[in-house]
Structure 1
Amino acid sequence: MIKIVVVVVVVVVVVVVVVVVVVVVVVTTTTTTIIIIIIIIIIIIIIIIIIIITKIRKKAKRDTSRGWQKKLK
């Protein structure tokens, strides 16, 4: 459970940093570079989310299998 909390905190921090970077970039650069950077950031966020989901699913599977083993005993 603690690990999941840590992961969530890390994700929140990453998202906040990304938003700040996007705002700074939007204020300082031209529209074409903004679009490219936003696309890259979106791809990075999607990859991070996929990694987190797979980790949580693996943990959930382990937890359920443990639960079943306890019930069988």
Structure 2
Amino acid sequence: MTFDGDKDDATWKTLLEKHKSSSDSNNPPKISGFTTTDTDTDTDIKALKEKCKALLLTKKGDSNWDTNYKDASNWCVKPT
């Protein structure tokens, strides 16, 4: 999926809606520290893209790599 432009925004919107409806007890859990406006989908999609970029740039060996890898796997890839 692309992070720039709006090419994959339909997929990002699907992931965003899934994230909004998830709870801490659901599997997968929400991205730690990521919140949405709940009123502006375009802004929320941009925020999710930025969060995913940051998660995917985490280097193996960083203290939060495992958590970021799981979050990126759950919320930053095209669902199959």
Larger radius of gyration: 1
Q: Same fold (TM over 0.5)?
A: no
> TM-score if structure 1 supplies the norm length?
0.33
More helix by share: 1
> TM-score if structure 2 supplies the norm length?
0.31
